[in-house]
Amino acid sequence: MSQAAADSFRIGDVELTSRLWLGTSRYPNPRLMIEALEAARAQVITVSIRRINLLQKESTFLDLPELQGYRLLPNTAGCNTARDAILTAELAREALGTNWIKVEVIGDDYTLLPDPVELLAACETLVRSGFVVLPYCSDDPILCRRLADLGCAAVMPLAAPIGSGLGIRNPHSLELIRQLVQVPVIVDAGIGTASDAALALELGCDAVLLNTAVAEAIDPVRMARAMRLAVEAGRLAYGAGRIPRSSHARASSPTVGRILS
């Protein structure tokens, strides 16, 4: 068994080995998107239901043969209420044939931060309706614990505001979330570059989901590969166990046998 296969994790009843999930928007063209997905070796890709006309007869980019091997994670991007998110999720399940749903309920159009009250209400209903619920949420450990207690299959706290590229603003919160919940923790939103992705895995998070950092990079394919390698390195470092931080220097060479003047 390969190391990747041995280091898998589960979402619901699905076992995954790739810890890098990618979005499918903002790419200059579909061909570049496919090349980036291949470079990332992603297994899960997200798509906004608002980007797809579910009633049209014509094919969409989801019909591209190159996308058939990926697990699709539709999301409720653009929803501002629990009611809208629930309706969007039900439409996605019927149209796309998957009960996986990334639940986004946004509080306002300026910060694009999640509305925790509406999010909890949406997730509670969707879990009862048989969905595999993956909520996009703030990096609030108590909120994440509440979502996990509701039966969500994972929690997806932000690193920073959507599309900001600011990286992980509060690593301590992510560490607390990892300690408080038993479900997978997937860092979502705000990742800017490879070091951000590596840090997320070093903190014990199970995966990262990103879009803009790859899609709007000068070279999306090269950035996708960089993100993949960063995630692998971060996971290895987490498993290896970092040395404790020290407020002062510690000599690496022994003092025994030192020549004295």
Percent of the chain at pLDDT > 70 equals 89
Task: Give me the architecture of the 3-240 domain, per CATH.
Answer: Alpha-Beta Barrel (3.20)
Rounded to whole angstroms, how far apart are CA atoms 140 and 121? 17
**Residue 102 annotated to the active site:** yes
pLDDT score, position 59: 52
- Residue 141's DSSP bridge partners are none
Which residue do the tokens 């499918």 mark?
A: 24
- Cβ of 73: how many Cβ atoms within 10 Å? 22
Contact by Cβ (8 Å): 132, 153? yes
- pTM for this predicted structure: 0.89
pLDDT score, position 5: 47
Q: First and final CA of the chain: distance in angstroms?
A: 56
pLDDT score, position 261: 63
173-200 mean pLDDT: 96
- Closest by CA to 131, choosing from 187, 87, 89, is 89
Tens digit of pLDDT for each residue in 75-92?
A: 999 999 999 999 999 999
136-146 mean pLDDT: 97
The helix, strand and coil proportions of the chain, stated in percent and rounded to the nearest 5, come to 40, 15, 45
202-231 mean pLDDT: 96
How is the chain split into domains, by residue range?
Answer: 3-240
Q: Which residue in the list 19, 102, 225, 228 is annotated as catalytic?
A: 102
